Amino acid sequence: MPNMYKGNIPILEDFGTKRTDLTHPKGMTFGLVPRDYSVDPETMLAGPDSIQTIDPSEWDARYDEQEATQSSLEHVFLRGGQPAFVNLDQNGDGDCWAYSTGHSKMFTYLRDQMPVPRLNPHFIATYLKRYNGGWCGASMQVITDVGCCEEGNGPDQWPLHSHSIGLMNQTRLAAAAKNRVTENVYDLTRQVWDQELTSKQLATCGFNNIPSPSDFNWWGHSVCQVRWVRIERGSWGPLIINSWKNWGRYGLAVLRGSQAIADGAVACRY
């Protein structure tokens, strides 16, 4: 089995309880806390009942068409041989659950050919006053209702890696509102659904260029799915972008195996 996707993007295996330098590099922080349904009930986000899922029998044709025309989010991100932006870095804070959402909003800007602001998901964690971890749906709720500031030291920006609640003011909230996710967000991993449906929904979002923040309990980590990819014939998995600096290829990696199915995931439409 290959250990690299397209020869240069690492593939994370089905590790079980194993830890590797790739999944748990020294010094990196995580931040995923499994969803507490008593706090965040099933109904907090809409269900994608109207999504017409793409059947697995069509996945090969879809993937091949995207490869032929270079029309996936992966291609858009890497167009010209360089990434459209440097992946975000959560640094030493457990805010991965906010960074996966921040990445997804940036990817919608990229997909839609809009200017791509460099968002600062530390703003989201600070807004919720949630410094001990969370899940992607919680951050998506904030970016939908409130938005997210850009990274920077200006009066309408949020400083890099800051959790300073004192910076939360009307000017910054107004600036954050420019980066709201403005349409209904779909919960792709409700408890009532089995993994097969979750895979179909995530695959459909991948083929439709819908970025999807995704939580992996085995990893204790939340990342953003960029695309649904064929690792080799009959083997599929999410191409994800991580919020760790100097990791993977431009922050990209592919997950493979039974643990490649997200335990929590949402769809960021625009």
Q: By CB under 8 A, is residue 102 in contact with another protein?
A: no
Three-class DSSP category at 102: helix
Q: Which of residues 149-188 bind another protein (CB under 8 A)?
A: 178, 180, 182-183, 186
Output the smallest distance, CB 58 to another protein, in A: 8
Output the smallest distance, CB 220 to another protein, in A: 30
* Interface residue with another protein, options 111, 200, 227, 256 (CB under 8 A): 111
* Interface residue with another protein, options 5, 12, 23, 66 (CB under 8 A): 66
| Nearby residues of 194 by Cβ (< 8 Å), 6 or more positions away | none
Q: By CB under 8 A, is residue 81 in contact with another protein?
A: no
Residue 170 has which token pair? Answer: 């009307």
| Most distant CA atoms of the chain, gap in Å | 53
Q: By CB under 8 A, is residue 115 in contact with another protein?
A: yes
Distances (CA, A) of 210 to 11, 184, 202, 204, 224: 21, 13, 9, 8, 10
Q: Print the binding letters for residues 182-201 with another protein: x by CB under 8 A, - otherwise.
A: xx--x---------------
Q: Please choose, from the candidates 103, 180, 98, 105, the residue with its C-alpha nearest in 3D space to the C-alpha of residue 144.
A: 180
Q: By CB under 8 A, is residue 37 in contact with another protein?
A: no
Q: By CB under 8 A, is residue 79 in contact with another protein?
A: yes
Residue 251 has which token pair? Answer: 């922050």
Q: By CB under 8 A, is residue 145 in contact with another protein?
A: no
Residue 255 has which token pair? Answer: 């997950």
Residue 46 vs 168, nearer CB to another protein: 46
| Nearby residues of 143 by Cβ (< 8 Å), 6 or more positions away | 101, 102, 105, 124, 179, 180, 181
- CA 154 to chain CA centroid, Å, is 26
Output the smallest distance, CB 165 to another protein, in A: 26
d(CA 27, CA 21): 11
d(CA 74, CA 33): 28
Q: By CB under 8 A, is residue 82 in contact with another protein?
A: no
* Interface residue with another protein, options 12, 35, 62, 256 (CB under 8 A): 62
Q: Where along the sequence are the contacts to another protein (CB under 8 A)?
A: 48, 50-54, 61-62, 65-66, 68-72, 75-76, 79, 111-115, 178, 180, 182-183, 186, 204, 207-210, 267, 269-270
